[in-house]
Amino acid sequence: MDQQTAKRLLAEGAFFILLDVPEGTEFGIDMKSWNTGEKFRGVKMIPPGLHYIFFSAVSDTGDTAPRTGFFKTFRKSEVLVKKWDKKNECISSEDVSENEVVQLKENILLLDNFLGPYPYSILDKWTSLTSCITSTLAERITPLSGYVQSALELQSCTDADRPRGKRKSEDGETSAGHSSSKSPRLTEDTEHNFLPNLKVKEGTELRLTSFPERNYPENSTPSEITKHSLDSSYVLDQMISKYSVSTEILGEMQICYICFLVGHSLEAFEQWKKLFNLFCSCEIGIKKHRKLYDLFITMSDIHIKEIPEEFLADIVSNSNFVYVKLKQLFRSVKESDVDAPFKAKVGRFIQNLTDLYQWDFDNLDSEEDEAPVIVDT
């Protein structure tokens, strides 16, 4: 990077200043992470727009805590100041005093040697990964706590609400926690009834868009129910109606993808899989939402290249769910009367997957084998 470009980026880019962060802490922005040094005070030259900042505390013995992160839309030349919370080993959610912020802004050039430059080598990839995400959507999906956590906080019910095994006496009467003169025996409760009833701590879960309870309209006939079971276009329409604009459904997929790939959130990955499955299970919806599907193909091409292949397999059936669902989508595209340019784009996507993973999609009419077919080389 030449000096003139660096000066321009320094003037236009945003600053994220992090005070009191312990040396060795894992810190990252977007797709890049480091372990902080003694002089680390934050990041400079951040391009305006949406970014994902994440961190993990590291103990004296080198143990790394679960990853935590948050989305932030930076304005041009914005200076965001945060402090490290030593007690909770995280970035404090409390605002830094206005006087301290003003003082840091006035002396920003003095901090230059303590600020790491934004890694511009990842900017193009990051831009493609966030193309459909709006700041409003990111704010809506982010947990109320403000942080995305790789390990969800769980809390148990009160002792009074804790499930207890029931006893059944020989005469058929039941009681909970009481002895009987007759020979009581435990009813056939499943083992999980005796375990603590844990639930996610309120405010820490991602606020993901919920799927409709039914995959068919109310008062549908049996034949209509069968039709909607084979084609999920109705569910896609219902989901799209929950967003301000249709592309936000892809924006949610991108948020989930980032929260999984960068934020290590399995909760987000499950939602990504559900949305991916939905797009691949439609027939009528392909032509109806043709522009949306065009973006979906582009996005899927990027996402699949980044996901570790072991995450693509279904643990239960040991089948590759991405391959299975894409085969279904490609079959639907082949049989539809959607325009030729879109079919050509899908063809290029198929070729990319074949080149990358040696997957064979030649036999799209066959639904028997769900395992990826490997092309002989």
pLDDT, tens only, 56-105: 999 989 899 999 999 999 999 999 999 999 999 999 988 899 999 999 99
Residue 151 in domain: no
Examine the domain organization and report whether 11 and 97 are in the same domain: yes
pLDDT in tens, 241-274: 999 999 999 999 999 999 999 999 999 999 999 9
Examine the domain organization and report whether 176 and 96 are in the same domain: no
- What confidence score (pLDDT) does residue 169 get? 46
pTM over 0.95: no
Examine the domain organization and report whether 13 and 113 are in the same domain: yes
Residue 326 in domain: yes
For 232, the token pair is 């999920």
In the chain, the number of structural domains is 3
User: pLDDT category, 180, cuts 50, 70, 90?
Assistant: very low
Residue with more model confidence, 44 or 360: 44
The position carrying tokens 């539809």 is 336
Examine the domain organization and report whether 109 and 214 are in the same domain: no
DSSP letters spanning 64-118: BPPPEEEEEEEPTT-EEEEEEETTTTEE--SPPPHHHHHHHHHTGGGGGGGEEEP
- What confidence score (pLDDT) does residue 64 get? 94
Examine the domain organization and report whether 108 and 43 are in the same domain: yes
Nearest to 235 by CA among 223, 225, 222: 225
User: pLDDT category, 167, cuts 50, 70, 90?
Assistant: very low
The position carrying tokens 């392909």 is 286
For 357, the token pair is 């993973």
Query: Dmax of the chain from CA atoms?
Result: 91
Residue 363, amino acid: N
Residue 203 in domain: no
Examine the domain organization and report whether 179 and 65 are in the same domain: no
Examine the domain organization and report whether 232 and 266 are in the same domain: yes
- Mapped onto helix, strand or coil, the DSSP state of residue 362 is coil
- What confidence score (pLDDT) does residue 356 get? 87
Exposure of 212 in the CB half-sphere (CA atoms within 13 A): 18
Residue 140 in domain: no
For 358, the token pair is 């040696």
Domain of residue 189 covers 163-196
> 87: domain CATH number?
2.60.34.20
The fraction of the chain above a pLDDT of 90, given in percent, is 69
- Lowest-pLDDT choice from 64-68, 277-281, 304-308, 361-365: 361-365
Residue 362 in domain: no
Residue 66 in domain: yes
Nearest to 247 by CA among 300, 287, 282, 294: 294
For the chain, report the end-to-end CA distance as a whole number of angstroms.
42
| Dist CA 231 CA 87 (whole Å) | 52
Examine the domain organization and report whether 176 and 227 are in the same domain: no
Examine the domain organization and report whether 258 and 172 are in the same domain: no
For 301, the token pair is 């091409």
- What confidence score (pLDDT) does residue 6 get? 76
- What confidence score (pLDDT) does residue 174 get? 44
Residue 178 has pLDDT above 50, yes or no: no
For 364, the token pair is 């799209």
What's the mean pLDDT when you consider all of the chain? 87
| Dist CA 88 CA 140 (whole Å) | 25
Examine the domain organization and report whether 343 and 218 are in the same domain: yes
Residue 337 in domain: yes
Residue 316 has pLDDT above 60, yes or no: no
Walk across the sheet containing 42-46 and list its strands: 90-91, 79-85, 14-19, 42-46, 115-117
Residue 135 in domain: no
Q: What is the dihedral angle through the alpha carbons of 178, 180, 185, 188, rounded to the nearest 10 degrees?
A: -40
Examine the domain organization and report whether 190 and 220 are in the same domain: no
The position carrying tokens 């609400």 is 161
Nearest to 82 by CA among 70, 72, 91: 91
- What confidence score (pLDDT) does residue 314 get? 64
- By DSSP bridging, strand 115-117 and strand 42-46 are parallel
User: pLDDT category, 166, cuts 50, 70, 90?
Assistant: very low
| Dist CA 106 CA 150 (whole Å) | 36
What distances in angstroms separate CA 227 from CA 217, 221, 232, 284, 293, one per listed residue? 11, 10, 9, 11, 21
Examine the domain organization and report whether 285 and 339 are in the same domain: yes
